Amino acid sequence: MATIGDYIRQQREQAKISLRQLADQAGVSNPYLSQIERGLRKPSADILQQIAKGLRISAEALYVQAGILEDRPADSGVRSALLTDPQLTERQKQVLIEIYESFRKESQTTPPTAEVIAVTRPHDEPTEAEAEAEADSDDSADQS
């Protein structure tokens, strides 16, 4: 199983950021970040948040990898894919996740299938349209 350090290194390499650049962007020392990546140090939630900003990924993604948060079982991988896509900006990721979450919430409150209700009427009874047409013809006949 990969450690949080392995995950951070993988994300950093995907983003094509050097260890020194990420340390600067995250506001941590270069040696400390190196120790985290090698599994010698376990970062706090605050440090993970700073690293997430430097990597331009969600802090939640790092919290899940570090075992601070449980991964959402109904995720289906969409959130993870969005959060780790290096071609999307942080803003784009957040907007896409908000849209995705709104669709998921909408589908949870709406029944997944519609029930079709058949209305039957006796064959000798006219339809509403037929009754209206007959009433219109009666009105025009009265006027002549």
Could you give the domains of the chain? 4-109 (1.10.260.40)
Q: Concatenated DSSP letters for 33-71?
A: HHHHHTTSS---HHHHHHHHHHHTS-HHHHHHHHTSSPP
Rounded distance between C-alpha atoms, residue 67 and residue 78, angstroms = 19
From CA 5, how far away is CA 42, in angstroms rounded?
Answer: 8
Q: Which of 6-10, 55-59, 135-139 has the highest mean pLDDT?
A: 6-10
Q: Is the dihedral of CA 60, 65, 68, 73 positive or negative?
A: positive
Encode pLDDT of 18-31 as tens digits. 999 999 999 999 99
29: Cα within 13 Å, side-chain hemisphere: 4
| Secondary structure (3-state) at 8 | helix
Q: What is the pLDDT of residues 48-104, one digit of tens each?
A: 999 999 998 888 888 888 888 766 555 567 887 888 888 988 888 888 888 888 888
Q: How far apart are alpha carbons 97 and 83 in whole angstroms?
A: 8
Across 34-61, average pLDDT: 91
